Structure 1
Amino acid sequence: MDDLSLTALFLALICLIALSAFFSGSETALLTLNRYRLRHLADQGHQGARRARTLLERPDRLIGLILLGNNFVNIMASSLATIIALRLGGEAAIGIAAGLLTLVILIFAEVTPKTYATLHPERLAFPASLIYGPLLKLLYPIVWFVNLFTNGLLKLMGISPNDSQGTALSREELRTVVNEAGAMIPERSRSMLLGILDLEHATVQDIMIPRNEVEGIDLQDSEEEILHAIRNASYTRMPLFDGGIDNVIGVFHAKHALHVMLRQGLEKEQLKAQLRAIARAPYYVPEGTRLYQQLLNFQRGKRRVGLVVDEYGDFLGLITLTDLLEEIVGEFTTDPADSIPEIHRTEDGSLLIDGSITVRDLNRALRWDLPTGGPKTLNGLILEYLEAIPEPGTSLKLNERPIEILQTADNGVKTVKVVARAARKARALGTERGAVD
């Protein structure tokens, strides 16, 4: 070292600081790479991504190699700084040189390269992998020796370096990824992806048509009443009763019923027999069936309608394939708030909401976040909150959502009102998310 000039020493010190910056920045870049994007690029044939993925398969070796190089160049830089200080100012300058070197390494070899690597990991990680591959092979004996002790210490703490934590995302983590995707995923596609994730949480009871709203045909009615009901049916598939809704004997397609009756000349005395002939045996669905499982069941059984029953076999409601698909793609309309029959707008902008609306439909239409784990309808939610049937004019807040009760009956809440201010806020939020107005 005594034969080297100060210029050569300064140049060597600068080179060592640059190497320290490379090791620090590349370490951060490699360890902050998006594992899913890395896997995608590697599968697409990106050579840098493939090299990086190979290095990250054994992170203990990669970290050992990087720290070996980083510590070596930092110690060498410290030694050169000491020599330079002795030549320039003697022993008194060693402390000043140590302080200056610490500041230089902190700024130029730590904070700056690591910040850059965090912001643009791929720009540094992929070129660095080209160097680390051969370097790891060259220094493998030293890296192996270092890892022998570090892995031994980890095993004493009950940690195996080979048991690296998987990168699989949970459902809630995947939901967060989809929500934060921003412009990378269109709003409509993002809503559909979230709808698919929600299928595992909800059950058929959450979206079924309750029994009091089920439209069906009772064979005990007169032929004229049956004909009128079929002609004015709101649904294409209808359950067939015999003596009441609790005795379902099948499900038939209204279009098929009309075709059969037209071919037979609408002979009323044969109408009931014809309906029995075209009705398909009822398909029963337990109330606790998850929506995702029910979607698969519909697909396997080539079914479109299921009768929801409780643990005692009592008829609770109707679930259709359309209801399930709307959980994924949304309502088959342009404006959820205006299309749902339980929600009506008034002239002042307020909303009149039927108490029978399901909490899930209300959340979807107004982008609210009312709890769905308990009661399934707005009426049930209000009764659970108040623990009594309220009087008309009662005001309350559900999850900070102000509502006013307009009509009640002996058995529950019939109609509630969302005041104009809250309704405008709901519409504005829905417009921003592309759901309402």
Structure 2
Amino acid sequence: MVEMKTSDVAGNYRQALSLLATLFFMWGFITVINNTLLPHLRSVFDLTYTQTTLIESVWFIAYFVASIPSARLIERVGYKSAIVIGLLVMAAGALLMIPAARLPSYVVVLTALFIVASGITLLQVAANPYVAVVGPPQTASSRLNLVQAFNSLGTTLAPLFGGYLILGRSTGGTSVAGAAPLTAEERLADAQAVQLPYLLVALTLVALAFVIARYRLPDMAAGTRRVRAEDRARHSLWNHRNLVFGVPAIFIYLIAEIGVSNLFINFVSAPEIGNLTHQQAANYLFLLWGSMMVGRFLGSFLMRSISPEKVLAAFSVGAFVVMMVVLTSHGKLAMWALISVGFFHSIMFPTIFTLGIRGLGPLTEEGSGLLIMAIAGGALVIIQGWLADRYGLQASFVLTAVCELYVLFYALWGARPTNALAGQAVGDQVEGARP
């Protein structure tokens, strides 16, 4: 293997990470458009909370279904080609939203969102471990939190985009809670409001795929496959406590994050909480995701001098406290408490992810695949929808509070590595890989 100069390698990876930050931004942006899409579709199709959260469940089921095929595709075609394919799959799903709106069809909407989520899954499987293993292992959590902050930038801007182009251009989105039901004509007009936003998204994704196709991303695949082929058979994933407890930690955390974000607009719009229209509530959703972005930048800084386990424990305690305020208060206090949970959720996914793959050595790629598959936990947001229908929307957030306690358990005990393998074998291979 021809070795590259250290300065050339570092510069090449800095450029690659800058481009990958754009991917993190885009999939965050598209995912959070759902937060404005769900209350919109609830009024268009006159859905219960259970039916509304089923839309998001289908989105996260795609993570479970597509994760293993995505890993195999990456091994077959490489990271760069897989990323381009993922972007094009997302664009195809976004374009399918146009006929879904014209019909309009609840089933076609579900199909379109499943396709978009499958493309995002491919990007997640490729990009998260890529960022985690490029650079010193001790700063992996800080590095992934930093890049995930750009994901949060996308999630912060998406509610403004969706609030203006979807909720702001629909009758249901500009009506106060408890207003008269929409007529058939109003439902049809509201359904078609999603066509322009998703057309713009599709065009942006195609343009990004073109840029990446022409960019020389460093190819990590050969090095990671070589290590697995030589060493994998001698080790077991199940000997690593940090991974074994990390997979359910990702799964459970996603239930909390998705439950908060997808029911946020309905919660703060309620007369006893914020008494807002859905369009107005979308502006506060902007603050929820904005606080997550701030938390990730802060978390990245803190983890340079404080262990990621301690930072994760502190943030999980904060999340539990503010969720108890949400459960026991009303009015603006409850609304701002729910907004603040975004800050405490901010570092959870990237920190759990990097703690989960710590010490896996040649098993890093497979461990990463399991952690990405665990994002399917977001599909269980339907449980919160069922709780909301049965016991009330506010009471349903008890599920979120319980999830925060598991994250605390993981930070205090579950994240401690056992049977750590020598060095960061995959990371060592990556740093010597050629572009």
When normalised by structure 1's length, the TM-score is 0.23
> Greater Rg, structure 1 or structure 2?
1
TM-score (norm 2): 0.23
Query: Which structure features the higher share of strand residues?
Result: 1
More helix by share: 2
